[in-house]
Amino acid sequence: MNIDTGMGLLAELHDMVLELDKNKPTEEAVQHIELTKNKRMTIEQMKENFFVITSGFVQVECGDGNIVDFLRVGDIMCAELVQNHKDKDWLPDYKMLTECKFIQIDRKYFLRFSTLKPSFMELLLQVMTNKLMYVFNDSRKYDLSVEERFDFSLLELGRCFGGNNQQYHRIIPTFINKQKIASFSKTSRKYTARRLQDLEQMGNIEIIDKGILIRKLDF
């Protein structure tokens, strides 16, 4: 997920992509790509490029389906290879939750172009700093009680996915099921089911056809 970058940064990203596309030396330097639901980015793709999400939602996993993040429109997918405990190249796993569209930008081209246009590098750093601040904020949940951690995580999901139904109400869509909620909140499926039931009985959430409507969660 991401701290809301607002329309200003999204507009700047849009302008940056247009200029990079206009000046690209080859067709491969800037490309529009689509990936269907459940597809995953390959290590080869991530090594050579970074990606601006223009449509859809991406689930980020760190081994064995352990969900650590969700990405949305305006987020940038950019990661460096590291060596895992078996001395093999490793990256987080980027899985498409829905059909997704991206702008794929060749890293070498971007670095060359940003020497002429330093504001592009500043913009990229600003977006990545926002992401880093989200990581710091999200890490707070590990100091909370199980109940607080679950509620905090549910609210974060609402902020990422939640199209507003009414003012201050957000809907977590049905494709974020109880298993995904449990993995992201680092709780068990049994606890997730029970806590969702308790929150619904208290009037904090409502289970509707479109998913989970968050009425009030204090964090």
Max distance between CA atoms of the chain, in angstroms, equals 59
Question: Between 2.60.120.10, 2.30.30.100, 1.20.120.1200, 2.170.190.11, what CATH number should domain 6-139 receive?
Answer: 2.60.120.10
Q: Strand (E) positions, 57-97?
A: 58-61, 67-71, 76-77, 82-83, 89-90, 93-96
- Per-residue tens of pLDDT for the chain, all 219 residues: 343 445 577 888 899 999 999 999 999 999 999 999 999 999 889 989 999 999 999 999 887 778 988 999 989 998 877 766 665 777 889 999 999 999 999 999 999 999 999 999 999 988 888 877 777 777 778 888 999 999 999 998 988 887 554 555 688 999 999 999 999 999 999 999 999 999 999 999 999 988 999 988 876
Phi, psi dihedral angles at 116 (to 5 degrees): -90, -25
pTM of the model: 0.84
Nearest to 124 by CA among 102, 101, 107: 107
CATH topology of domain 144-214: Arc Repressor Mutant, subunit A (1.10.10)
